[in-house]
């Protein structure tokens, strides 16, 4: 499935296309939660990356790493966010590194 933003997973693109009502509701909740957060955008995106990596949700990693990069996060900060969960979640977090770093490799 081709999409203008290749960091968006095929599954999420399909969700947006096939369930527009649910997608609109979901994105509304995401926006409201984002606005309620006291974290600055860069910190919020890095924290979100840490959660995705700890939960093993690799499909959203590239998209959220790109948001962190656009908010000013460095490559090293993104690596640190992905790996911060090592003690709690174990080495499954390293599976998220390729997706997280792909946005930096594509930008250079």
What's the 3-state SS for the chain? CCCCCCCCCHHHHHHHHHCHHHHHHHHHHHHHHHHHCCCCHHHHHHHHHHHHHHHCCHHHHHHHHHHHHHCCCCHHHHHHHHHCCHHHHCHHHHHHHHHHHHHHHHHC
User: In the chain, what are the domain boundaries?
Assistant: 9-38, 39-108
| Prediction pTM value | 0.85
In tens, the pLDDT along 26-72 reads 999 999 998 999 999 999 999 999 999 999 999 899 999 999 999 99
Q: Which CATH architecture has domain 39-108?
A: Up-down Bundle (1.20)
Q: Is the pLDDT of residue 102 over 90?
A: yes
């Amino acid at each position: 499935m081709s999409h203008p933003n290749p960091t968006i997973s095929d599954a999420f693109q399909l969700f947006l296309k096939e369930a527009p009502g649910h997608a609109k509701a979901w994105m509304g909740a995401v926006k409201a939660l984002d606005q309620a957060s006291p974290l600055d955008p860069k910190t919020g995106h890095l924290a979100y990356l840490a959660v995705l990596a700890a939960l093993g949700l690799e499909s959203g990693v590239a998209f959220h790493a790109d948001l962190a990069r656009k908010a000013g996060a460095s490559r090293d900060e993104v690596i640190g966010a992905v790996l911060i969960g090592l003690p709690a979640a174990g080495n499954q977090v390293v599976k998220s590194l390729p997706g997280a770093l792909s946005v930096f490799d594509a930008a250079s």
